[in-house]
Amino acid sequence: MTISATSATPATSNWQGAQGVKIVTKNFGVPDSHKLATYRARGGWEAFRKSAGMAPAEIVDEVKKSNLRGRGGAGFPTGMKWSFVPKEARTVYLVVNADESEPGTCKDRELLAYDPHLLIEGMAIASYAIGCKHAYIYIRGEMMREAKIVQAAIDEAYAAGLLGSDHPVAGGRTFRFDITLHRGAGAYICGEETALLNSLEGKRGWPRLKPPFPAVKGLFQQATVVNNVETLMNVPEIVQKGGAWFAGLGLGKSGGTRIVCVSGHVKKPGVYELPMGIPVRALIQDVCGGIPGGRAIKGVIPGGTSMPPLDASELDIPIEFDALMTDARIKDVEVQRGLPFDLGNGRRLKTMAGSGGIVVFDESTDVVALCARIMRFYAHESCGQCTPCREGTGWLARVCTRLAAGDGKPGDVELLGNVANGIAGNTICALGEAAAWPMMGFLTKFRSEFEAKIRKAA
């Protein structure tokens, strides 16, 4: 696995100012980077000391100024999320979502293995800011190596008095903070925050209806903030250097850098910390060395397989959250009736930055077979709580697999669009959309390849 910052310099975006900046990967490659002694020797826990001299509201305000957005998928502003915790809440929990399960995504796994103490310090600062005394890390069950590393780091922090001890903070008060590591059972659905909370409580990992939202009534029915691993690991640097500095590294309303996991048809797949504004094309060509064999790019899945794809004409766009969502400057493509891409006034929903899992596929790819594989995954991972998702994902998998095998029937393409349309927006959580959106996206961008499977069968 290659881990580095980019050295590419295309002129299509104003991302050069953040070129080479490392925030969450700054300790990667350092011997024993996962140990507390190494972390403290490199300035670890200095940010927490600084935050202890600040009022909690000041910390929240700096995070708001930083434009830090959730790195788990949705890209929701982190400071705003923290501010949703009711001021009158007596018990507040912080839960770290380390249930990384989006296909194509492996950044949190590497962050936990290389620098667990950065996460712990980020949790400590966040907990002080929101009034949490006991936080949980919910880690994917298959991450056995990472779970051992993180637990060892937690044990080190307790032995050093950083956890479980009173710390003097602003206003003459003290702050005590505990962490519990909890291993999940490997369900994709538990990456959804309310399903995660149910699992953490020992219940079936089914999503909850919202409202109430977790910030008001979450873990054990108490106020709860759920944040992604990468998100919290940015917090110490924001405290040390200020929200304005962090915001200045980013693009638009997205501050800082971004971890991306690049896989598929590239010469140098890996996990990279990159400027938020780097275009997708520069990422592929300059950072990842281009496409093997000199083949042409057919498309890119930009944020994990639950995101609609980009085609080869849409790669000169930054990996930033809002840029990937809408952009009137990119050449439009035909939008099929009923698909949720048309936003009016020449703008359309394109896709999302999601979890940062970038999957590149070249001209040799059978797009229908690729889509069928994605649909089978989501059909398998549907928790079954909502009928549209439980039944619809199965339909998508079966029909798409039939097409991929060359056994498509007249009307199959329309059927896929109708089923996807019936799922989207009609389920409790976003797993339904996780299947429907890529299905709609592939039909929109590569419809002719689906239709060709029917002609072949006929």
Tens of pLDDT, residue by residue, the chain (458 residues): 333 333 333 333 455 555 688 999 999 999 999 999 999 999 999 999 999 999 999 999 999 999 999 998 888 999 999 999 999 999 999 999 999 999 999 999 999 999 999 999 999 999 999 999 999 999 999 999 999 999 999 999 999 999 999 999 998 999 999 999 999 988 999 999 999 999 999 999 999 999 999 999 999 999 999 999 999 999 999 999 999 999 999 888 899 999 999 999 999 999 999 988 889 999 999 999 999 999 999 999 998 999 999 999 888 888 888 777 654 333 333 333 333 344 334 434 467 788 889 999 999 999 999 999 999 999 999 999 999 999 999 999 999 999 999 889 999 999 999 999 999 989 999 999 999 999 999 999 999 999 999 865 54
The alpha-carbon radius of gyration of the chain (Å, integer) is 22
Residue 9: inside a domain? no
- 348 and 446 in a single domain? The answer is no
Two tokens at 58?
A: 């000041």
Which pLDDT score, from 0 to 100, does residue 324 have?
73
User: Rounded to an integer, what distance in angstroms lies between the CA atom of residue 291 and that of residue 297?
Assistant: 7
Closest CA to 238 of 227, 246, 230: 246
Residue with tokens 């957005």: 69
Residue 13: inside a domain? no
- 272 and 342 in a single domain? The answer is yes
What are 348's strand-pairing partners?
342
Which pLDDT score, from 0 to 100, does residue 75 have?
86
DSSP state letter for 189: G
Which pLDDT score, from 0 to 100, does residue 343 have?
35
End residue of a domain, out of 231, 249, 267: 249
End residue of a domain, out of 249, 279, 304: 249
User: Rounded to an integer, what distance in angstroms lies between the CA atom of residue 179 and that of residue 8?
Assistant: 39
What's the pTM?
A: 0.89
How many folded domains does the chain comprise?
Answer: 3
- 242 and 263 in a single domain? The answer is no
Residue 234: inside a domain? yes
- 201 and 64 in a single domain? The answer is yes
User: Rounded to an integer, what distance in angstroms lies between the CA atom of residue 56 and that of residue 71?
Assistant: 22
- 138 and 221 in a single domain? The answer is yes
Ordered DSSP codes for 224-272: EEEEEHHHHHTHHHHHHH-HHHHHHHSBTTB-SEEEEEEEES-SS-EEE
User: Which domain does 403 fall in, by range?
Assistant: 367-457
Asked whether 122 and 242 are in contact (CB, 8 A), the reply is no
Beta strands 167-169; 173-175: pairing state: antiparallel
Cα atoms found within 13 Å of the Cα of residue 46, Cβ hemisphere only: 10
Tell me, what CATH number does 264's domain have? Answer: 3.10.20.600
H runs (alpha helix) in 97-169: 107-114, 116-130, 144-159
User: Rounded to an integer, what distance in angstroms lies between the CA atom of residue 106 and that of residue 16?
Assistant: 25
Distance set, CA 15 to CA 279, 299, 330 (Å): 9, 23, 19
Residue 330, Cβ neighbours under 10 Å: how many? 17
- 226 and 261 in a single domain? The answer is no
- 32 and 80 in a single domain? The answer is yes
Tell me, what CATH number does 124's domain have? Answer: 3.40.50.11540
Give phi and psi for 168, each to the nearest 5.
-70, 135
Asked whether 2 and 260 are in contact (CB, 8 A), the reply is no
- 285 and 432 in a single domain? The answer is no
- 100 and 166 in a single domain? The answer is yes
Which pLDDT score, from 0 to 100, does residue 223 have?
97
